Amino acid sequence: MSDGYDDELRARFGLDMTLSDDAPDDPALRRLLLRRTHRRYADRALPDALVRLLLAAAFSASSKSDFQQASVLWLQDRDRRDGLARLFPDMPWIGTAPVFLVFLGDARRLERIGALRGHAQDNGALEGFFNAAVDAALALQTCVLAAETLGLGTCPISVLRNRVREVAAILDLPDKVFPVAGLCVGWPMQPGFISMRLPLDATVHIDRYNDSGLPAAVDAYDRRRDARHSIKDRQRQPERFGTAEFYGWSEDKARQAMTPEGQGFAPWLKARGFTFD
Ligand SMILES: Cc1cc2nc3c(=O)[nH]c(=O)nc-3n(C[C@H](O)[C@H](O)[C@H](O)COP(=O)(O)O)c2cc1C
In a domain, 7, yes or no: no
Domain boundaries, position 216: 195-261
Report how far ligand 1's centroid is from the alpha carbon of 248 (Å).
18
pLDDT at 18: 83
SS3 content of the chain, % helix, strand, coil (to 5): 45, 10, 45
Give 184's DSSP letter. Answer: E
pLDDT at 2: 53
- Closest atom of ligand 1 to 197 CA is 27
pLDDT at 50: 98
Quick one: 153 and 70 in the same domain? Answer: yes
pLDDT average per 10 residues of sequence, the chain (277 residues): 82 92 90 97 97 98 98 98 98 98 98 98 98 99 97 98 98 98 98 97 98 98 98 98 98 97 96 97
Residues sharing a CB contact under 8 Å with residue 251, sequence separation 6 or more, in sequence order: 222, 244
Report how far ligand 1's centroid is from the alpha carbon of 37 (Å).
7
* Of 256, 192, 252, the residue nearest 222 (C-alpha): 252
Quick one: 83 and 152 in the same domain? Answer: yes
pLDDT at 29: 94
pLDDT at 4: 83
- CATH number at 109 reads 3.40.109.10
In a domain, 235, yes or no: yes
pLDDT at 1: 47
In a domain, 123, yes or no: yes
Domain count along the chain: 2
Quick one: 119 and 224 in the same domain? Answer: no
Quick one: 158 and 61 in the same domain? Answer: yes
Quick one: 169 and 213 in the same domain? Answer: no
In a domain, 12, yes or no: no
Quick one: 158 and 186 in the same domain? Answer: yes
For residues 181-197, one letter each, b for 16 or more C-beta atoms within 10 angstroms of the residue's C-beta and e for the rest, the string is bbbbbbbbeeeeebebe
Q: Is the CB of 158 under 6 A from ligand 1?
A: yes
Q: Is the CB of 256 under 6 A from ligand 1?
A: no
In a domain, 13, yes or no: no
In a domain, 39, yes or no: no
